[in-house]
Amino acid sequence: MTGGTWRRQVAVLLRTTTARSLLGRRAAPVLLLAAMPVVLALVRGLLPPGSERVGIGSSTTQFADIFHFFILRFVVFVATAVVFINLFRGEVVERSLHYTLLAPLPRSVLVAGKYLGGLVASVAILGPATVVTFVLYFLPQMRVAPSILLEAPLLGQLLRWLVVMVLACAAYGALFTLAGLRFSNPMLPALLFLGWESLNPFLPPLLKAVSVVHYLEGLTPVPPSVRAFAILGRPPAPWAAVLGLAVIVAVALWASLWCARRLEISYGSD
């Protein structure tokens, strides 16, 4: 297969997977999850500002807390689980995956195209939700200075939060793609993984490294305020965090390809 053919096939799978993830029935729970932090931020922004929300520093800290402990550990986690597990397992349940497998394309193209399509779809939903939530957290300050978000410090923070969100989608997405190929009931290991990621702030330093969120925290612009109550442990340096996430994605996608090459459809057992 030539490089041009490989790219065209990946592009077709990317478009179809993105469309199904954004426009199909699977998009409803992801959109609902993405709306949850927006609604919370909107309610907070519409309330009369108290003294604890007047300063930029307080809004920055409060957004950091909701991003670390709600958006990252729950919204992004569960949304990527829904999107990426359904890439393969959802089509097995719908009894439509065999149509894709009958097409003349390598399994590497199948895994790459579906993974990239799921990544584009998840970022397209969760990215705007993150931006809107960030803006709403600074609504009290914007009433006084409407252009405050265009200033370099806050704009730089927003870009870094978005980068962390995209990397979270990439890492969690690779793991959930593998789960959808490897397990007939992938939600059980996903729930166990959710518990592990949620307990990360309170784990010893050695165990912290065995999680995705540990590396993501090394890239966030503002640490969570609960760090004073967590077991002491320094987040990794940015270069180490990016390297750790890249290794996780590479290993998970390689394992997904290994599973895809041995994939056999048996609808009678599902």
Residues 6+ apart with CB under 8 A from 14: 113, 116, 117, 120
Q: What is the pLDDT of residue 26?
A: 78
What pLDDT is recorded for position 3?
Answer: 61
Instruction: Provide the token pair at 79.
Output: 């949304």
> Rounded to two decimals, what is the model's pTM?
0.88
- Between CA 106 and CA 104 the distance in angstroms is 7
Count of alpha carbons within 13 Å of 176, Cβ hemisphere only?
A: 34
pLDDT of residue 99: 66
CB contact set of 87 (below 8 Å; sequence gap of 6+)? 17, 114, 115, 117, 118, 177, 180
In this structure, what DSSP letter does residue 234 have?
P
Is the distance from CB of 222 to CB of 60 less than 8 angstroms? yes
CA distance 58 to 38: 18
Residues 249-264: b if buried by 16+ CB within 10 A, e if exposed: beebbebbbebbeeee
> What is the extent of the structural domain holding 21?
3-269
Q: Which residues of the chain have pLDDT under 50?
A: 51, 228-229
Q: Where are the alpha helices (DSSP H) in 67-221?
A: 77-85, 91-93, 97-101, 107-137, 139-144, 152-182, 187-198, 205-208, 212-217
Question: How many structural domains does the chain have?
Answer: 1
